[in-house]
Amino acid sequence: MTWFLISLIGPFLYAMTNFIDKTLLEKYFKSGGVGTLLIFSALLSGLALPILFLFDPTVFSVGLFNILVLAAVGILNVLVLFFYLKALEDEEASITVVFYQLVPVFAYGLAYFILGESLTTIQLIAMAIVIFGTSIISFEVDTENKFKLRTKTIFYMVSASFCWALGSVIFKAVALEEQVVRSLFWEHLMLTIIGIGLFFFVRTYREHFIIAVRQNSVAIFSLNVLNETLYMLGNTIFAFAYLLGPIAVVLLAESFQPLFAILIGVFMTVFFPRIISEKIHIKHLWQKGIAFAVTCLGTYLLFAF
């Protein structure tokens, strides 16, 4: 089971990136943080273009229709980041990531309608369990133990999960025909173009981006580079784990991201509250823990059968 332990490193690194995003928004991008991070992330996608071209110099042989489809995937990826960052502005990182458990649920549903893939009874039950699990975290418990619906968080994170799933299904449909590297090239090219467009045509985004770079250039670039490095390292570890164990169980490991986010949130709040501060009262931890356990069970059933 060493391969399963290796696969757990991926979601741990992903959880760390969630807190880096939160730190960037709260400490360095207090004004216009979403737009600034969108530009940073989109432009950094351009770094992958020469690497992808070296792997497959035939990237320009992709048909026009598929290029347009992959451009749509790039747009969906930007929307995922936008909705996620908007939710993260006002919400704890350990709560927002729970909603990403909805991605496979949406993906299975979309694959059924778009790709003609079938759904079993167990998978339908699993999807319902995941939705129930996310509904547990959809309510905020205040100091008087009253429940309040996290309306904005639900809207943004459900939208992010749906866009992520739709982009993944569309990408798969094209990648089956055009191969993965070609598809990734055009997806990243669109992301880069969007980043350039946001910088030049959205004045508020551009102004906040320039101010942030001028005031905290070293810290911002360091955190962004660290963020991208951890994310790419997580992807690499998952790819390695796929070769060592059953893919269904490896995918299950990815659902542990919310658990790692909870643990990191508690650790940071106790030892480094000036950097990250989350609600760690026992009632909040129970709510997060139960939501994780339920969604994890649903994810297991979804991939195991």
Question: DSSP states of 104-138 as a string?
Answer: HHHHHHHHHHHT-----HHHHHHHHHHHHHHHHTT
Helix (H) or strand (E) segment spanning residue 147: strand 147-149
DSSP letter for 60, please.
G
pLDDT at 97: 92
Tens of pLDDT along 261-291? 999 999 999 998 888 889 888 888 999 999 9
What lies within 8 Å, CB to CB, of 145 at 6+ separation is 283
Q: Which residue has the higher pLDDT, 117 or 245?
A: 117
pLDDT at 147: 78
The answer to whether the beta carbons of residues 73 and 163 sit under 8 Å apart is no
The answer to whether the beta carbons of residues 100 and 299 sit under 8 Å apart is no
Q: Is the per-residue pLDDT at 251 higher than 70?
A: no
Q: Is the per-residue pLDDT at 6 higher than 70?
A: yes
Distance CA 296, CA 9 (A): 17
Q: Which residue has the higher pLDDT, 193 or 302?
A: 193
Highest mean pLDDT among 39-48, 183-192, 195-204: 195-204
Average pLDDT over residues 208-216: 80
Q: Which residue has the higher pLDDT, 281 or 181?
A: 281
Q: 3-state class of 140 per DSSP? A: strand
User: Would you place residue 143 in the very low, low, confident or very high pLDDT band (cuts 50, 70, 90)?
Assistant: low
Q: Which residue has the higher pLDDT, 141 or 153?
A: 153
Sign, CA torsion 200/205/207/210: negative
Average pLDDT over residues 79-104: 91
CA angle 97, 80, 269 (to 5 degrees): 30
